[in-house]
Amino acid sequence: MIASPLLRQIAGYINGQWTAADQPATTPVHNRATGEHLADVPVMGEAETLRAIAAAVAAMENTPSVADRRVWLTRIAEQLLAHKQELGRIITLEHGKPWKEGMGEVEYAAGFYRYAAEHLDILEAHTLPETIRGCRWTIHHRPAGVAGLITPWNFPLAMLAKKLSAALGAGCASVTKPATLTPLTAIAFWSLLDEIGLPPGMVNLVMGQSGPIGRTLCAHPAVRVISFTGSTEVGQKLMEQVAPYVKRLALELGGNAPFIVFADADLPAAADALIANKFRAGGQTCVCTNRVYVERPVLEQFVALTAARVRKLKVGNGLAPDTDIGPLINRAAFDKVAAHVRDALAQGATRVVGDDPSRPANDWGAFYPPTVLTGMTPAMLVCREETFGPVVAITSFVDETELARAANATASGLAAYVFARNEQRAARLITRLQFGHVGWNTGNGPTPAAPFGGMKFSGFGREGGTEGLLEFCETQTVAQR
């Protein structure tokens, strides 16, 4: 069992109280690297979710002031940073990512609460300068209602921060459902929230199978916003479930990011950016590179630069200080990555770095070696689907127009990356790319200060920036004579 001062309770949190599940069923959580049993987490369902929603409704009977919200958000950011090492350790244990990445995630999460606290003025009422039709017109941003927050396993603290910082900032009480694969991070975070002094019912935590909890959140009339990060398939189901109730949805769904390198790019810098972007969290991020397109004259050079860097990466237990890549989240993730590599090799790709690892015997210890493939074609799974693992698949391009078509030839539209010194050429391409986030000479993903979200099947709605706050608001216009 895990020993942590932040995990004295392994329970849900409803109406300001730690809450056990109605039924005795539990789900075990294991160390992703070693298989060590960490905890048994309660399985909640419809009844507990209904009580959490009722608590949230009661909490919203008195809308908290902007000043109160700012205090809460600031305290949360401070608490996160004060417990960075332990929260990072818990993330590493249940996810597998290196501890240094876990602590980086805590810092990233704190940034969303801090940014929201510093920008709540945008929610203050403002009056139009003109008198129109004999009236004074004032625009208010009201809390939209109870928010249902459904978070993924790959960034269990940061993805929650994107949603909860905006919900709290907007004045919305919330019910959070964390991923079943990584619930301990949320529980540890709630132990910090318990010390903030929030009104009972303002932040509620339920855990268990997605079906009954998600359906309850979607159908309840008091829940007016559903914010979800995860697969496109689940996002589509949520759209179907909320359609009869005309609810707000914010969806960040799957990606299939192109990484484009022109011949005039700073190739070593581009290779460094590719490594940092691709192998974060073992390649299990929606914004990480999935397809690499290199202009033909520099293909061989760029492959060599990339391969040399990948060979230096160390795979191992995330708690070891020299580990660069931890295990994949489970055996199913391992099987998908292995299938993508086999498919590419069968269709003529060349493996420059990597080998065939043994399939894990259990649902942990799913270490997959960092792999570099060349000769990627549009028919291969590594091009058509999101691999979600430590595999770099590279091909060459000649024509800029054909490149744009190839990059956009995916249902996803979350992130893309372009490396080029020629600003006109890069800008011309970027205007044609159908992706919500584009890195230009950088592999950086989203930041708390800027709106982030997808196009096409990667979803809609934005997190981060002031746009993220407004996702949880309803705009009300008052005309006063």
Helices within 228-380 (DSSP H only): 232-242, 267-278, 299-311, 331-346
How far is Cα 169 from Cα 434, in angstroms, rounded to an integer?
Answer: 30
Sign of the torsion formed by the C-alpha atoms of 103, 109, 113 and 116: positive
26: its two tokens: 């539990």
Contacts of 126 (CB under 8 A, 6+ apart): 138, 139
Contact 239, 217 (CB under 8 A): no
Q: Which two tokens stand for residue 396?
A: 């060459």
Q: Which amino acid is located at 118 in the chain?
A: E
Residue ranges in 347-481 assigned as alpha helix (H): 381-384, 400-408, 423-430, 465-470
Say what angle helices 99-118 and 84-95 make with each other, to 10 degrees: 120
Instruction: Enumerate residues 6+ apart whose C-beta is below 8 A from 302.
Output: 261, 267, 270, 271, 294, 394
H-state helical runs in 96-183: 99-118, 158-170
- End-to-end CA separation in angstroms for the chain: 66
Amino acid at 308: A
Residue 359 Rama label (left phi>0; alpha psi -120 to 50; beta) = beta
Which of 97-117 are b and which e, b meaning 16 or more Cβ less than 10 Å from the residue's Cβ? Answer: bbbebbbbbbebbbbbbbbbb
Q: Which residues are catalytic?
A: 252, 286
Please tell me the distance from the alpha carbon of residue 425 to that of residue 441, in angstroms, as a whole number: 13
DSSP state of 324: S
Closest CA to 249 of 262, 260, 235: 235
d(CA 367, CA 345): 20
